[in-house]
Amino acid sequence: MIVPALLSQDKEKMQEMLNTCNQFAKLVQIDIMDGEFVPSKSITAQELAQLKINTPNELHLMVNNPFAWIEPASQIGSKRIIFHLETEIDHKKLITEIKKMEMEAGVSLNPKTNIEKLRPIIKDIDLILFMAVNPGFYGAAFIPEVLDKIRKFKRIWPNKKTAIDGGVKESNILKIKNIGLDYICIGSAILKSDNPKQAFLKFSRL
């Protein structure tokens, strides 16, 4: 499945993206950034709560304090929260708190993070999101070595739901698809195209 990844610091622009994706997407990923875990910033929790979101959604939290986003995510009806393994927090406690609010818990790995670091929490995680770029910006270049990491992961944990995010283009989507991921997140190649719906449908066909 192709999942549009929505990234903006402007609430009106984010609403515009949501309205656009509502025409064709079955799921959207809303990127949240605090300017600390990654250099960029996104909309605030208060602004998130003010959005009209009609499409099933998940939050990708590129933040130092994911706990602060559990309640806002629940309020907008998110089906899943994805936090970063690199955050220096109690991951097991976070997973427990997310699931208390009847949401799924996903974990994201930066390109250089070793999959062995997942072992303490892997049984409690619903989705692993592999970053194929260093997170925080639209339009970063794809890091192909991440595909080897996904292959290794799937040999160890073949039944876990997996996704990839960052740098996906028409030129590399078939190579990515053949690894057997559950879904592929695409940001700028859809949302910054002249016709997002047409771009989405083309990626889906590919």
Instruction: List, for residues 58-72, the tens digit of each pLDDT value.
Output: 999 999 999 999 999
Token output for 70: 């559990």
| pLDDT of residue 76 exceeding 90 | yes
Tell me which residues are annotated as active site. 31, 165
What average pLDDT does the chain have? 95
What was the pLDDT predicted at 138? 67
Q: In the chain, what are the domains?
A: 2-205 (3.20.20.70)
Give SS3 for 4: strand
Residue 64 has what pLDDT?
A: 96
Which backbone phi and psi does 191 adopt, to 5 degrees? -75, -25
Residue pLDDT, tens place only, 93-135: 999 999 999 999 999 999 999 999 999 999 999 999 999 998 8
CB 83 within 8 A of CB 110: no
Q: What pLDDT, on the 0 to 100 scale, is given for residue 140?
A: 77
Element (H, E) at 162: strand 162-165
Q: Which two tokens stand for residue 172?
A: 């590399």
Question: Contact 192/7 with Cβ under 8 angstroms?
Answer: no
CA 84 to CA 178: how far, in whole Å?
25
Chain-centroid distance of CA 55 in Å reads: 15
Q: Which residue has the higher pLDDT, 193 or 140?
A: 193
* Mean of pLDDT values over 179-186: 96
pLDDT tier, 156 (very low <50, low <70, confident <90, very high otherwise):
very high
- Look at residue 141 in the predicted model and tell me its pLDDT: 87
pLDDT bin (cut points 50, 70, 90) of residue 82 is very high
Report the share of the chain in percent with pLDDT over 70: 98
